[in-house]
């Protein structure tokens, strides 16, 4: 278990993702512009009445903002993590992270479910969560699943792809801060709190693997689990 956690979140694999000074400056300008634009669209989308037709176009528009900003900023990488193989010498090979990030996302969702049992006993926090759950209760679940997955992918492409690569120092901390600031546009304290914890976990995955695949899988596993679990807790 300890080795599994280390290779998923801590051990940095070799890679060469160097950027020229000009490419770095360009990426920084693009990411700043799209952080502002994305925060505005996010704030609008979550202030739309639950069940409204316009909620879906707004959230897909937000995913488009993050994805376009990510690819416009410069090259993105999927990343790899170390895996030990029993070939007589126990040499380490590099593989695409798939199972580990999914398990991390499910584990993180479990932590939030346990926390939800406490949150629903605190009136003002309970109201914050229920304001989000209303979208699941009054919307079409199949469409919400697609929206949740698409936005999870797009957010990680941008925050752990473009923004991370734009930060020469302390990228895990600063991408987490940027993600929380963007989420605060919703005016929902519980979403911002979730963004802190999720942002740190996927930030360490990005640091270890050097790419966006692990953060994407963890984010989607977590967000889809919460989409299904929260209505049961706060229904």
Nearest to 191 by CA among 46, 69, 35: 46
H or E element that contains 21: helix 21-45
CA distances from 68 to 19, 83, 121 (A): 20, 33, 41
86 has pLDDT over 60? no
What distance separates the 2 farthest-apart alpha carbons in the chain? 61
214 has pLDDT over 80? yes
219 has pLDDT over 90? yes
| Residue 88 and residue 207 in contact, taking contact as beta carbons nearer than 8 Å | no
29 has pLDDT over 60? yes
51 has pLDDT over 70? no
Q: What pLDDT is attached to residue 127? A: 81
Give the residue-averaged pLDDT of 215-221. Answer: 96
**Phi (first) and psi of residue 95, to 5 degrees:** -135, 160
Give the residue-averaged pLDDT of 104-121. Answer: 87
By the 10 Å C-beta count (0-12 exposed, 13-18 middle, 19+ buried), 123 is classed as: exposed
What global pTM score does this model have? Answer: 0.88
Q: What pLDDT is attached to residue 17? A: 80
H or E element that contains 65: helix 55-73
Look at 82-86, 191-195, 203-207 and tell me which has the smallest mean pLDDT. Answer: 82-86
Q: What pLDDT is attached to residue 207? A: 94
Q: What pLDDT is attached to residue 88? A: 44
């Amino acid at each position: 278990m300890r080795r599994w956690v280390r290779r998923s979140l801590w051990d940095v694999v070799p890679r060469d993702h160097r950027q020229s000074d000009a490419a770095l400056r360009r990426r920084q300008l693009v990411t700043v512009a799209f952080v502002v634009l994305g925060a505005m669209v996010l704030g609008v989308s979550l202030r739309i009445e639950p069940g409204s037709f316009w909620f879906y176009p707004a959230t897909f528009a937000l995913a488009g903002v993050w994805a376009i900003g990510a690819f416009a900023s410069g090259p993105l990488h999927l990343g790899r993590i170390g895996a030990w193989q029993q070939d007589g010498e126990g040499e380490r090979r590099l593989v695409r992270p798939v199972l580990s990030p999914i398990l991390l996302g499910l584990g993180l969702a479990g932590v939030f479910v346990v926390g939800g049992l406490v949150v629903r006993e605190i009136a003002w926090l309970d109201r914050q969560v229920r304001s989000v759950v209303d979208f699941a209760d009054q919307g079409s679940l199949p469409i919400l699943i697609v929206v949740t997955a698409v936005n999870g992918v797009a957010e990680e492409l941008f925050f752990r792809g473009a923004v991370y690569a734009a930060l020469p120092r302390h990228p895990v901390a600063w991408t987490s801060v940027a993600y929380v600031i963007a989420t605060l546009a919703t005016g929902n304290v519980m979403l911002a709190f979730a963004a802190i914890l999720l942002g740190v976990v996927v930030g360490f995955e990005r640091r270890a693997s050097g790419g966006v695949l692990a953060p994407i899988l963890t984010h989607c596993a977590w967000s889809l689990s919460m989409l299904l679990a929260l209505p049961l807790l706060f229904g």
